[in-house]
Structure 1
Amino acid sequence: MKRKRNKILIIIGIIILLILGGAFGTYKYINRVKNVKLQGSNEELKISQETEEKSTKENIENILLLGVDKEENASDTIMILSLDKDDNTAKLTSIMRDLNVDLGESNKVHKINYAYHYGGVEGSVSTLNKLFDLDINKYVKIDFEGLKNVIDYIGGIELSVTGEESRIIGLSKSGNVKLNGKQALEYSRIRKIDNDYYRTNRQRKVIMAIFNKAKSIEVTSYPKIISDLSSNIETNLSTFELLDLGKGIMSMNAEQLEGFRIPIDGSTEDLMDKGIYYLGWDEEVNKKALHDFIYDEH
């Protein structure tokens, strides 16, 4: 099983908001976050009672992080943030968007990111809980358009791009280049030249570039960044929970932050259906791998 230690947990823009909010106590900006409760019972959200009891016993909380693409009305990024409150550690699992899943549509194959298209946040939560026997009942959703504004505000980001990538986003050269918000968003959405593994990596590169650039700007600029992000975020976490989460992550060092990816290496196959690419995967193997990662079950 392949596990990668991340020196920084900030993989998506949500975490930038949480950390800056936790650091500067910017209640008035975080209060702009749209608070929307999940609809449905535990049964309807497919919450595993067994896993819920295990999480309570081990004091672990699983939170769904969604990055949404309005153009597709689908989730562009799906991640599970697992917080161990006893050990003060955090684990972040990336779920690849091309996984083929049954969303209840007769005789129709779907990618997991379309759980959001058909059922909103509740659809994403129930699909993940059902597939992986999880107990997710908290979520944070961000519209990536908000990241575009942040990138422009901090003066763009620098990335290394290939010739094919530069051509797709309309650049005249490859190598180390400076991207504005629109170009960075287009770069993160490239899907024509390779597969979801590379797409996920591009998204990670963009977010890390934002974080690194944000670290170098004046502290007085943080409220504007937080304001731009907060207006593009929806969650059922309270203001107190958001700030507490940000402060908790800030207090962690590199060894307390760990990343993971589903599906794991060696458990997939490439599939085509009516000209559309899907990622076939071994559900039981990956379910076990995810529980091993979150709950240290070996």
Structure 2
Amino acid sequence: MARRSHRRRRHGLASWSIGKKLGVILGGTFAAVAATGVVLVASKMTKIETTELDTDKLNIAETSEEQETGYLNVALFGLDSREGDLGKGNRSDTMMIASLNKATGEVKLVSVYRDTLLELDDGSYNKANAAYAFGGPEGAISLINRNMDMDISKYVAVNFNALVDVIDALGGLDITLTDAEVVHMNNYCVETSKVTGADYTKIEPEVAGTYHLNGVQAVSYSRIRYTGGGDFERTSRQRHVLELIAEKAQSASFSTLNKIIDKVFPQVSTNFTIAEMIAYAKDIAKYKLGDSMGFPDNNSFDMLDVVGSVVIPETLTSNVEDVHKFLFGDDGYTISSNITDIEDGIREKCTHKATSDSVIESDDDYGSGSGTSNDYSNSGSSNSNYNNSYNNSYNNSGSSSGTGSGSGTGDSGGGSDYGDYGGGSDGDYSGEDYD
């Protein structure tokens, strides 16, 4: 089975838009908060769900003294939460590291690709987004620390659907879409509307153009992963949406920003104390957004037994070194033996290639304890994982068109990702999965 290599380039600061410097998680939320003033923010902090984490479970790495004292490193999670809860059992659609240089006020971001093959707390190797589902914020922070030699103890999580409220409060966004993006966005809108309870109008005819999108449509656009670039293109769309949110929030009225806070803060979870949040909010004007990168920056794709299609670090040691140099410069960091051991484990796991007889674990089973998985060659059953569009795209070696085994066609092979809304029991969603 062929492996396709992808080298993700970092660009200079001048070539990055505001959106590429903002986190998918808090970009829209805190761009609005920054303009409201500390007094208002402090009065609203009690709306945020605050938690306590067991630091003994976070696998905090030993780091250089400079990194420990000179930076605040925070894990950011964007959750696909259908029930509104922000604990374990939810997939983390987006995982990022935000690193604040306390001396300069510069904030740098590292996106951890959700399908990256990494080691979980139990010693198994799975996609990065499985960690939050299995172990909540403790499990997800632990995964970042153990696989990247990080010292993170703080996190912020937000229900991704909170962005629907932000965008609607700002009056919508103007976004240019391709023919394929219009089709896929319309399909995603069905589930986005169902989950959020918000309305939308289907775009017809489904042709390329610049459209004024409401919250359901813009969030659905940012969830598309079927146009060839998979999760890489999806994160690009998400960043573009956040760029537009930030631009509109800068000129929004006080009442609009207050409305956004009231709607979004209840959908945020963190282990920052209220006193800590107020302290950092007080200095927010001093912060400036720096560059951004993806992890693993040097990677390849493969299809493995049970876990399905994964992003593989090439190699873990070199990618971790790149992250540390990007965030902290030459601070004396050296790769730990733990990282080299995990690299060996990733290499061994990659020998378990998927075949026509393989079973592929469904993301919907993460954290359920059921251990259910479905046949790799299953045709449109309600929980088949990558056997439809994602596998079809992979097996067609990136062909620009194809037919998935779920209903519907698309640029990446069409059909449904998990089968849930394609040819399975809920086939009325025209071959898209809200994933």
Q: How does the TM-score come out when normalised to structure 1?
A: 0.88
Which one has more relative contact order, counting CA pairs under 8 Å at least 6 apart?
1
- In 1, are the aligned partners of 2:166 and 2:264 still within 8 Å (CA)? yes
Give secondary structure in 1 for the equivalent of 2:120: coil
The aligned residue for residue 35 of structure 1 is 50
Q: Structure 1 residue 64 and structure 2 residue 75: aligned?
A: yes
Partners in 2 of 1:257 and 1:40 — Cα distance?
A: 29
Give secondary structure in 2 for the equivalent of 1:136: coil
Partners in 2 of 1:4 and 1:271 — Cα distance?
A: 30
Q: Structure 1 residue 21 and structure 2 residue 33: aligned?
A: yes
The aligned residue for residue 217 of structure 2 is 183
Would the alpha carbon gap of residues 12 and 269 (structure 1) be closer, same or farther in structure 2, given more than 3 Å must change? closer
CA offsets 1:50-99 (integer angstroms, 9 cap, x no match): 35x44234x11100111111258211111111111112221111111121
Give secondary structure in 1 for the equivalent of 2:63: helix
The aligned residue for residue 110 of structure 2 is 93
CA offsets 1:100-120 (integer angstroms, 9 cap, x no match): 1232668x7521111111111
- In 2, are the aligned partners of 1:67 and 1:75 still within 8 Å (CA)? yes
The aligned residue for residue 162 of structure 1 is 178
The aligned residue for residue 120 of structure 1 is 136
The aligned residue for residue 385 of structure 2 is none
Deviation, 1:17, is 3.5
Structure (1 or 2) with the larger CA radius of gyration: 2
Bigger shift: 134-143 or 216-225?
216-225
Deviation, 1:34, is 0.7
The aligned residue for residue 221 of structure 1 is 256
The aligned residue for residue 267 of structure 2 is 232
CA offsets 1:211-268 (integer angstroms, 9 cap, x no match): 2222232222111111111111000112232233344343245xx622222122xx21
Deviation, 1:269, is 1.1
Partners in 1 of 2:159 and 2:267 — Cα distance?
A: 5
The aligned residue for residue 59 of structure 2 is 46
RMSD across aligned C-alpha pairs, in angstroms?
A: 2.3
Deviation, 1:132, is 0.7
The aligned residue for residue 12 of structure 1 is 24
Partners in 1 of 2:237 and 2:273 — Cα distance?
A: 31
AA matched with 1:32: K
AA matched with 2:67: S
Gap regions ≥5 residues in structure 2: 1-8, 83-88, 187-202, 332-435
Would the alpha carbon gap of residues 246 and 260 (structure 1) be closer, same or farther in structure 2, given more than 3 Å must change? farther
Give secondary structure in 2 for the equivalent of 1:31: helix
- In 1, are the aligned partners of 2:33 and 2:257 still within 8 Å (CA)? no
AA matched with 2:100: L
Q: Structure 1 residue 280 and structure 2 residue 312: aligned?
A: yes
Give secondary structure in 2 for the equivalent of 1:201: helix
The aligned residue for residue 296 of structure 1 is 329
Q: Structure 1 residue 133 and structure 2 residue 149: aligned?
A: yes
AA matched with 2:253: E
Would the alpha carbon gap of residues 66 and 143 (structure 1) be closer, same or farther in structure 2, given more than 3 Å must change? same
Partners in 1 of 2:300 and 2:174 — Cα distance?
A: 34
Partners in 1 of 2:117 and 2:171 — Cα distance?
A: 38
Partners in 2 of 1:7 and 1:165 — Cα distance?
A: 21
Instruction: Name the structure where strand makes up a greater proportion of residues.
Output: 1
Bigger shift: 131-140 or 176-185?
176-185
Deviation, 1:19, is 4.5
AA matched with 2:217: Q
- In 2, are the aligned partners of 1:19 and 1:250 still within 8 Å (CA)? no
AA matched with 1:177: Y
Q: Structure 1 residue 259 and structure 2 residue 259: aligned?
A: no
AA matched with 1:284: T
Deviation, 1:22, is 4.2
Partners in 1 of 2:75 and 2:127 — Cα distance?
A: 17
- Aligned pairs, number: 289
Bigger shift: 124-133 or 231-240?
231-240
The aligned residue for residue 10 of structure 2 is 2
Would the alpha carbon gap of residues 20 and 148 (structure 1) be closer, same or farther in structure 2, given more than 3 Å must change? closer
4+ aligned runs moved over 6 Å, structure 1:
none
Q: How does the TM-score come out when normalised to structure 2?
A: 0.62
Partners in 2 of 1:246 and 1:3 — Cα distance?
A: 29
AA matched with 1:97: R
Deviation, 1:14, is 1.8
Partners in 2 of 1:14 and 1:252 — Cα distance?
A: 15
